[in-house]
Amino acid sequence: MKKIIRIRYVTILLLICVLAYIFFVNGCAIDPKLQEEYTRDSLSSGIQTVFDGYRQSIPEIMTKHKIPGLSIAVVDHEGILWTAGFGYTDKDKKTPVTPETIFSIQSMSKTFTATAVMFAVQDGLVELDIPITKYLPDFTVNSRYEDDPQDKMTLRHLLTHTAGFTHEAPIGNNVDARSPSYEDHVKSISDTWLKYRVGERNSYSNLGIDLAAYILQVRSGKPINQYMKEKIFDSLDMPNSSVDMEFIKRHPNRAIGHQNHFKELPLVPMLGAGGVYTNANELAKFIQFHINWGNVNDQLLLNANLLYEMYTPSPTNKGYGLGIGIGEKDGVYFLGHGGGGFGFLTTMTWLPEYQIGALVLTNSADHPNKHQKLMKNLILRLVDNKLVQKSKPHENPPWKAVAADNSKSPAYQRPHPDNFTRYQPDWKKYTGTYRYIRGGRKLRAYASIALALGYPDPDSEVKVYEKNGFLEINGERLDEHLPGLFFANEGECLDFRGSVPTWRNFKLKKK
């Protein structure tokens, strides 16, 4: 009888959770109205027609995908063609989103950090192709493949994601996002294990970019937020843009990030890889700076040869230069970057051969790729309808070295999983279901109740088990390197040696 009552009780609570979720998702209506816009005078009727269409369609997209706020801009070599803000900074609908509202741009920050590195190269503070241990003599990192891998790493490796790093650091990451000091975050990189040999293969990583930003801090003798402010934000007249968390917290016109079941999301602890906050008007100036090859108001700020370095694809990462993505569609070449996390999804791109670019900023992380499709469709519509024209051709444009398939690196040979360590009876203690230990994020009440009742969280559940005579984690076979230290086929690390187990540097708790 008691068991029946308990089942009924749990069922009722789960029903409450489901109803609360439905109420939250459907009850919090989005109000995506146009709040403020600017359109350049004397645009052609064709371009005006395109902007008119997007002015009408954007609110429909926001309503369908529950996006509280969105900001957009289109820019050419002369400045902004069109910019607009829709919706609100939060679901409380108190503060309208305008082109002056700052958003977290997440991994788009990597292009800012890479640009700052190029300024440091120009100033003689750093070089791209010497070991980073010249700048950080105490830095070390673990590798299964080679001794002292840090002595082979260069800034070029860091900025092209070819240093061999995994994606996240143990302190200050996308799961445990409590805000440590930037120094503690960077210091924890030394506790990680490389996925690959240095220079062997591309592996998208926050660690390399954050380490590059830290090198700028060490070499300049200034905090990275101050260095970025002086070299980029002040130089490009971007007074509301920053990686200074205190400045960002105090900003009166800041968009709040929204992500499924989370009530509260922290600011980004990864300053170089994801820390920039900016607005549509000011991000347009950054794009314009790149479109104009380092010139601002007819003054050369950054040598074009250094920008050529940025826009040149890496030999082992043909779709990426120095902190910048490189793509091609039907003979049209794109430069830019996207960003996502902590309740935001953002993207920017520019077409160097057409001298035009665009950006979209949203304060929701629950609409995968909708912002990217919106931006690219807008740009390609202008090109396909011949509403913008190619500029004077560049000599030997570096972006044309981009490869259609950059998923494989010729230098990399994947280990054969049949050669992995066979399952041992003693590993039974490792098997079971684990959950990530999250920090810095507050769940909504219904989500907390559901998790307390054992409801699975697919975003954070990790299963370790024996299969066909091998140990596996979430479908990936594991190989033991040291007692309690395992590596999956793609190089990610499962570590049981400490008091708290970790997977990909995320802390785990057994259910």
Give me the domain span that covers residue 131: 103-401
Give 485-497 pLDDT, tens digit per residue.
999 998 999 999 9
Same domain as 491, residue 462: yes
Residue corresponding to tokens 């080679």: 146
Locate all alpha helices (DSSP H) within 292-328, ordered by sequence.
304-310
Same domain as 13, residue 107: no
End position of a domain, from candidates 372, 401, 430: 401
pLDDT at position 473 over 90: yes
% of the chain beyond a pLDDT of 90: 74
pTM here is 0.91
Same domain as 499, residue 464: yes
Same domain as 377, residue 330: yes
- The whole-number pLDDT of residue 194 equals 97
pLDDT at position 504 over 90: yes
Mean pLDDT for the stretch of residues 383-393: 90
Give 97-124 pLDDT, tens digit per residue.
999 999 999 999 999 999 999 999 999 9
Supply the CATH number for residue 133's domain. 3.40.710.10
Same domain as 368, residue 331: yes
Task: Tell whether 47 is covered by a domain.
Answer: no
Tokens of 476: 């990936």
Q: State how many domains the chain has.
A: 3
d(CA 102, CA 248): 9
Same domain as 445, residue 382: no
Same domain as 362, residue 313: yes
CA atoms 241, 379, 68, 449: torsion sign? negative
Task: Tell whether 56 is covered by a domain.
Answer: no
Average pLDDT, the chain: 89
Same domain as 429, residue 356: no
Same domain as 360, residue 257: yes
Question: CB count, 10 Å around CB of 497?
Answer: 10
pLDDT at position 237 over 90: yes
Contact, 269 vs 439, CB < 8 A?
no
Mean pLDDT for the stretch of residues 256-283: 86
End position of a domain, from candidates 377, 401, 425: 401
